[in-house]
Structure 1
């Protein structure tokens, strides 16, 4: 049952990625929606889940939040060190990028998140059939957004779709691999909490420093802002329903 449900997550991920590929003519709206989806996933899914998984603290600070700050800072340092991101001082000005590395890096982090989703399905079924089913349904529903975001961030500042398609395939297969791992190898929750916090920091940096400024650059802002708000509300509704 767990493996079959992870295959359903695979299908949903592919569907989200194919949707992102088909709407490239309205790229600024896609980016605005992706930014909202990422903000919602970070605020309503990743951070609460990380804090629920582990209550460990370091210097009275929850360990997942230390991971969150580390992820945010690491992506910033990587971009600056590689001269990837050169933003103009003017607000919402066009951005130039020497290399499009930050997008694939964040897409790879999304693949890691999908692997954790698969681990969650397997761990849920280890706790009981009803728990596993609830977790699996939540994963299946939000994997549509995962596939959409993977393609969007992987193709940021790129015209070649092949890396995005390869990362989409990896993202789709990740929940199945995670489920198989969890059903065969015990995974300590103490590691999952800090990882989810770290991953949330990486995604929030990408949304704030890359996706949303790019979405507003050279395009009408009101409609793009509406799609961003829609993305946040969609994730809130999915998390609330799950």
Structure 2
């Protein structure tokens, strides 16, 4: 049952990526929406879940928050190191996007989608009602995942075929994750730590890369409205799934 439900996430991820491809003439709106979706996923979904799952504190600070900050710093460090290497080879102009950063971010999205599938499978092990509730949340926000995966990969200068390849991998990931729950059970604290770390990295990409790029050439009110709409959509998804 969990694998069949995860096929819905597969289709929604592809739908999100297809949408991102079709609106290339409104790139600033795409980036504004993607930044809002990413901010919403981090602040309203990943971080609360990680705090609840990770639980324990380390020197007075929740472990999930420490990993959240670590994820932000690691994302920043990786981008700086890759940019410095690119510049050392004569290709680093101001504002130049490093393709490896986009691929790394997209790979993290794929890893997150695998965890989404595992969450579906684990919820169905608890009960059918819980499983359907979790599946609804995953399927709804996987549209955002597909949208963001294609957008992030393309934003950093990767070829369209690479962006599509990462999108397809992200689409299959929930199915793989759901299938794996037949054999593997992930400890709750480890899952919470992963969500915190991933959330920090995603926030860095949204705040330091996606949103500034969205407003660079088109500082329009419509771009800001798309960002707010992205956050509001994730809020709606979280509210419906928890209600």
TM range (shorter): over 0.9
Measured after TM superposition, the shift of residue 82 of structure 1 is 2.1
What RMSD, in angstroms, separates the aligned Cα atoms of the two structures? 1.7
Measured after TM superposition, the shift of residue 159 of structure 1 is 5.8
- Which residue does the alignment assign to 1:150? 149
CA deviations over 1:210-241 (Å, ceiling 9, x no partner): 10111111213311111111111111111111
- Which residue does the alignment assign to 1:196? 195
Conserved 8 A contact 2:99-2:158 = no
In 1, Cα distance between the equivalents of 2:225 and 2:94?
22
Conserved 8 A contact 1:126-1:183 = no
Conserved 8 A contact 2:6-2:117 = yes
In 2, Cα distance between the equivalents of 1:99 and 1:137?
35
Conserved 8 A contact 1:95-1:214 = no
In 1, Cα distance between the equivalents of 2:29 and 2:160?
18
Task: Report whether the alignment pairs 1:103 with 2:113.
Answer: no
Measured after TM superposition, the shift of residue 100 of structure 1 is 2.2
Where do residues 52-63 of structure 1 align in structure 2 (5 Å cutoff)?
52-63=52-63
- Unpaired runs of 5+ in structure 1? 87-93
Conserved 8 A contact 2:97-2:157 = no
Conserved 8 A contact 1:84-1:101 = no
For 2:223, what is the secondary structure of its paired residue? helix
In 1, Cα distance between the equivalents of 2:174 and 2:109?
11
- Unpaired runs of 5+ in structure 2? 87-92
In 1, Cα distance between the equivalents of 2:186 and 2:56?
17
Where do residues 227-242 of structure 1 align in structure 2 (5 Å cutoff)?
227-242=226-241
Measured after TM superposition, the shift of residue 96 of structure 1 is 1.2
- Evaluate the alpha carbon distance shift between residue 132 and residue 98 of structure 1 in structure 2; reply closer, same or farther with a 3 A threshold: closer
Report how many residues are paired. 235
Task: Report whether the alignment pairs 1:221 with 2:220.
Answer: yes
- Which residue does the alignment assign to 1:45? 45
- Which residue does the alignment assign to 2:89? none
- Which residue does the alignment assign to 2:184? 185
- Which residue does the alignment assign to 1:9? 9
